[in-house]
Chain A
Amino acid sequence: MSAGLAVTEVRRLGPARLSAGLDRWERLDLAAHERTHGPLPRVSQEALLALAERVDLRGRGGAAFPFARKAHAALAATQRGGQAPVLVVNATEGEPPSVKDATLLTRTPHLVLDGVSLAAAAFGAAEVVVAVAAGSPGELSVPAALDERARARRDQVPTRTVCVPERFVSGESGALVRAVNGRDAVPSTRPVRAAEGGRGGVRGRPTLLCNAETWAQLALLVRLGADGYAVVGTPEESGTLLVTVNRAGGRAPVVVEIPAGAPLGIVLDACGVDPGAGVLVGGYHGGWLRPEVAERTALSRAGLTAAGGVLGAASVAVLPQGVCALGELTRVAGWLAGESVGQCGPCRRGLPETAAALAALTRGSGSPEEVRHAAAQGRGRGACAHPDGTARFVLSGLTAFADEVTAHQQHGGCGRRPGTSLPLPEPAGTRLTLDWSRCDAHGLCASLAPDLLTLDPHGYPVFRTDAPIAPWQESQARRAVAGCPALALRLPRA
């Protein structure tokens, strides 16, 4: 493998399944993989579906949809329309706090490919598509692994890798299928079911789309059998779970394989992480837990629901003691607002407003009610779940850090240092700049770019956020620049 790939550390609590062999090898090539896991088993369609149903295998990308039900729908559409299905591995993982899928693809890619390969053979699939984020390590690792498998003639079904632009919502299943079909990676107008084929499927075929870890779990399930698979985990949620634990202080995240239902406190301990002032579970669409609650919360769907959170894609991030929580919430909310693709009004307008309300509260000039109001505006009113997830992140943060909110509101700050403990990609893109000495308050910019600018009481422009301009805002920004009669507004190159 090329030397440029960062290798994420993998630890485990309990048996090594997905993580088998990773203590010995940085990356399991096909030979090492088959020595560790055994040869690729063959399984019939009926047996595969029965296995998935018996252990209630769920999607591991965050939505936890039952695998068997999704597969049944795709196979039923195949029978109706006579078109062989396409299987898709979703390894785009657009959430900065989650690296488990990227880690699987770089360190044990053949386990993921085994799962989709045996399902493709069982379902008589026409094609397998592995979707990875452009610029992610999977972009190199997956083609290399596919090459190895082709030379050893392991797969019956043709498999290709597709790189999709990395954005938070491009991993949404509808957006991903659109990207694979060569269109923009944005959620569709109507909820389309990929399994039904037609407009919602890859090349119009019934499409079975699952997260990378789900396919790897399927490969383990077929090898271990239902009883062997369910030895660990809880009776309702059997097997193991891959968790990304983010560490503060610039240390790289760790991926941990745990039996489903293991207490979060023990998992954090195993990674040398202190619960700090609060724990975020489920990524930036997830919820904050107070440290004393987090310690005894079981890492399973049921455990998180009981604690008032969500499991999501099982990523964990901690806010260290002494770091300003509101500052961190503001930073992430600003990023989430920029990650909207700007299709639906309530999301396009509501998320920047939420970020601005949080920033005002952090400075001491706003109120939590304004933040709640802005965050609630978008909820349930988008084509995808982006506004809802963002609202959950912000609102649960206000609840978990209620003392700090009071401190900011009453004293204009909490005295804690601003931090960068929650991982975010480097801000890319450019910002509008204003030459104040030229601006004559004509006010055209605010009408031409209402999403970016508003006017103060004297008619001078005020930027809505200090985040870089998102791709969907670019045309607005250019129009405002072109329309400024005093040439005061500029858009420098990125």
Chain B
Amino acid sequence: MSVVPFTRSRELALRIDRIACEGHGACAELLPELLSLDEWGFPIVHRAAVPPELAAHARRAVAACPVLALRLERGRS
């Protein structure tokens, strides 16, 4: 059996479900490095790619979204 090396070449990326989002704004509070709010409270993504040092914060923002509109996805490499 060959050994498959454990790599994390694919970056995490933020995705917003624009239909589900109701503009609660919790995400921008928890992840201001990557997100901010427009004048109506809907998130603006400054950078979708999540650097490793912010991964924990990003997960917390995802967990805090009351309508499950924020997601973290493994980018397409």
Q: Give the number of residues in A that approach B within 8 Å (Cβ atoms).
A: 15
Interface: A381 (CB within 8 A): yes
Interface residues of B in 1-25 (CB under 8 A from A): 16-23
Once the chains bind, are A189 and B22 in contact (CB under 8 Å)? no
Fill in one digit per residue for B23-60: 1 if any A CB lies within 8 Å of its CB, else 0: 10000000000000011111010000000000000000
A-B pairs with beta carbons under 8 A, tally: 36
Neighbouring B residues of A345 by C-beta, 8 Å:
18, 21-23, 40-42
Interface: A19 (CB within 8 A): no
Once the chains bind, are B19 and A343 in contact (CB under 8 Å)? yes
Interface: A162 (CB within 8 A): no
What is the bound-complex CA distance between A39 and B18, given in angstroms?
A: 48
Interface residues of A in 376-423 (CB under 8 A from B): 377, 381-383
- Chain B min CB distance to A345 (Å): 4
Neighbouring A residues of B41 by C-beta, 8 Å:
345
What is the bound-complex CA distance between A452 and B65, given in angstroms?
A: 26
Neighbouring B residues of A350 by C-beta, 8 Å:
40
- Chain A min CB distance to B73 (Å): 11
Once the chains bind, are A381 and B17 in contact (CB under 8 Å)? no
Once the chains bind, are A344 and B18 in contact (CB under 8 Å)? yes
Neighbouring A residues of B39 by C-beta, 8 Å:
377
Once the chains bind, are A349 and B40 in contact (CB under 8 Å)? yes
- Chain A min CB distance to B23 (Å): 5
Once the chains bind, are B18 and A381 in contact (CB under 8 Å)? yes
Neighbouring A residues of B16 by C-beta, 8 Å:
381
What is the bound-complex CA distance between A377 and B20, given in angstroms?
A: 18
Interface residues of A in 170-196 (CB under 8 A from B): 187-190
Once the chains bind, are B17 and A189 in contact (CB under 8 Å)? yes
Once the chains bind, are B21 and A344 in contact (CB under 8 Å)? yes
Once the chains bind, are B18 and A382 in contact (CB under 8 Å)? yes
What is the bound-complex CA distance between A147 and B64, given in angstroms?
A: 57
- Chain A min CB distance to B67 (Å): 11
Q: What are some 24 contacts across the A-B interface (CB < 8 A)?
A: A187-B19, A189-B19, A189-B20, A190-B17, A343-B19, A344-B18, A344-B19, A344-B21, A345-B21, A345-B22, A345-B23, A345-B42, A346-B18, A346-B38, A346-B42, A349-B40, A349-B42, A350-B40, A377-B38, A377-B39, A381-B18, A381-B42, A382-B18, A383-B17
Residues in chain A within 8 A of chain B (CB atoms): 187-190, 343-347, 349-350, 377, 381-383
- With A188-B19, A346-B38 already in contact, 7 other A-B pairs whose C-beta atoms are closer than 8 Å: A343-B18, A344-B21, A346-B18, A349-B42, A377-B39, A381-B18, A381-B44
